[in-house]
Structure 1
Amino acid sequence: MNASLLLWGVAFGSLGLGYFIYGKKQGAVVPLLCGLGLMVFPYFIVNAWLLVGVGVGLAALPYFLRR
């Protein structure tokens, strides 16, 4: 574990918490699930570049899948 993984994990986790709260209050499924994914996935990825790629993808997904 290095500092970059920790900082990226905190950044994506906090963004995921925001998506999760928004999705729960609005009743929107896509932000809710992306928020859960953003909070959980940093625990399972050990490569910094992959962590950033998956995190940016999950963070952008609600913008493209508006329901």
Structure 2
Amino acid sequence: MLLSVLFGAIGSGYFLYGRKQQAVVPLLCGLVLIVMPYFIPNAALLVVAGVAVSAIPYFYRI
């Protein structure tokens, strides 16, 4: 439950940043991070996927 809140908060930050800066990559990663905890019940898999999606805007910039 705590991981869902953590990745949801990170996703909300990415979403707001992407919307304000009109950047597609952070916007989409934010949406994925917000929705992802609903579909991944395993905590270990959620951490791996959450860290991977959180790192995408850092390495992939448009």
Please say whether Structure 1 and Structure 2 have the same fold, judged by a TM-score greater than 0.5: yes
TM-score by length of 2: 0.98
1:5-51 CA-to-partner distances (Å, cap 9, x unmatched) read x0000000000000000000000000000000000000000111000
- Coordinate RMSD, CA, aligned: 0.3
Is 2:20 aligned against 1:15? Answer: no
The 4+ residue runs of structure 1 with deviation greater than 2 A are: none
Give the share of equivalent positions with the same residue, in percent.
63
The structure having more radius of gyration, on CA atoms, is 1
Hey, what's the Cα distance between the residues in 2 that align with 1:45 and 1:32?
20
Would you say how many aligned residue pairs link Structure 1 and Structure 2?
62
Match of 2:36 in 1: 41
Q: Which runs of 5+ in 2 are unaligned?
A: none
Gaps of 5+ in 1: 1-5
Q: Return the TM-score normalized by structure 1.
A: 0.91
